[in-house]
Amino acid sequence: MQLDPQMINVIEKRAALAIETDDLAALPIEEIRKAYNTERAFWNEIKPRMHEVLNTTVAGPVRDIPVRIYRPLDSDDRPTLLYLHGGGWVVGNLDTHDRVMRLLAEFSGACVVGVDYVLSPEYQFPVAINEAQAVLDWLKIQGPDHGLDISRLAIGGDSAGANMSVAVTQLCHQQSPGLIQCLLLYYGAYGLTNSVSWEQYGNAEFEFTREEKEFYVASYLGEAQNRNDPRFKVLDGGISLLPSAFIAAAECDPLQDDSTALYEAMQKAGRPATLKIYPGVLHSFIHYSRMLDKATEALRDGAIALKETLS
């Protein structure tokens, strides 16, 4: 294993932008989010042009949910991608993932609907999933009024958002089989607790430690029994309910084996899936397309899969 030289440049840039801490749990949650937002601002400074970017809200179970609709420049007769951002269920928002969503819209031609779901620990499992379901229900009813084609619908996300995307799809297809026709998943956590990739890459050298994982999971799930809930441990959920999936993984990521496990489970269940592992890159790599060619490649690959499935 050798890190991509551009990935090394990204690591150096991130180090210059980020605060230094060995213990996330020791920081106030506001400080963690402020540091994350500040670091992500650099990667989102360059914004691909859209025909329209619309901010609105959707009535949810605990509050009005902020939603952002991206329409690419050529926006007639386009499918829809519901996107759930990453950030360990604790950090992240529509702005931290703005460039990712814009590039997916640009590359695929789809309208992208980003969801600013509630964060943990203030709101714990399963409130964020319930909010994503509320936006999905809104799309079914109100989507056409906003020019969104729900007959060609995909859902996707990165990291925590990828986990939630699988959970929401499994829940949706219990009642409405086939509504979601495509999954677009970047380096998600799908339910493995131990794996070879965790042994190899779960340390500070690869910027993702077991202590960090525990902080995020404990913040999100709260009670221990939730760790076995199939809405979190989605590998134990309804794999046979899943549609076609593009599953992207980073080679130097402790969650690499989660992506492989989901792919293999889908193959066993007879579900169409593609797995691509991007060499020499770390978890969260799709954020760094300003400096990292493999980030652009992965976003373009996902967009092509989306376009082919929903054409």
Query: What pLDDT does 21 receive?
Result: 64
Instruction: Indicate if the pLDDT at residue 203 is higher than 90.
Output: yes
The single-letter code of the amino acid at 30 is: E
Instruction: Indicate if the pLDDT at residue 26 is higher than 90.
Output: no
Instruction: Name the percent of the chain lying above pLDDT 70.
Output: 97
Query: What pLDDT does 1 receive?
Result: 67
Instruction: Indicate if the pLDDT at residue 220 is higher than 80.
Output: yes
Cα–Cα distances in angstroms (integers) from residue 4 to residues 18, 40, 72, 208, 285, in the given order? 21, 21, 31, 17, 11
Instruction: Indicate if the pLDDT at residue 61 is higher than 90.
Output: yes
* H/E element, 107: helix 98-108
For 287-309, how does the pLDDT look when each residue is reduced to its tens digit (9 = 90+)? 999 999 999 999 999 999 999 99
Instruction: Indicate if the pLDDT at residue 56 is higher than 70.
Output: yes
Average pLDDT, whole number, for the chain?
A: 95
Query: What pLDDT does 27 receive?
Result: 85
Tell me the CATH number at 282. 3.40.50.1820
Cβ neighbours for 200, distance < 8 A, ≥ 6 positions apart: 1, 254
Mean per-residue pLDDT for 84-90? 98
For 130-186, how does the pLDDT look when each residue is reduced to its tens digit (9 = 90+)? 999 999 999 999 999 999 999 999 999 999 999 999 999 999 999 999 999 999 999
Domain count, the chain: 1
Q: How far apart are CA 308 and CA 261, in angstroms?
A: 24
Residue range(s) defining the domain that contains residue 40? 5-310
Among candidate residues 85, 97, 283, 287, the one labeled active-site is 283
253 is catalytic: yes
Instruction: Indicate if the pLDDT at residue 113 is higher than 70.
Output: yes
Instruction: Indicate if the pLDDT at residue 20 is higher than 80.
Output: no
Among candidate residues 159, 165, 219, 244, the one labeled active-site is 159
74 is catalytic: no
Instruction: Indicate if the pLDDT at residue 245 is higher than 70.
Output: yes
Instruction: Name the percent of the chain lying above pLDDT 90.
Output: 93
Query: What pLDDT does 74 receive?
Result: 72
98 is catalytic: no
121-132 burial, b at 16+ Cβ within 10 Å, e below that, comes to: eebbbbbbbbbb
Nearest alpha-carbon partner for 180 in 227, 141, 139, 222: 139
Among candidate residues 116, 158, 253, 258, the one labeled active-site is 253
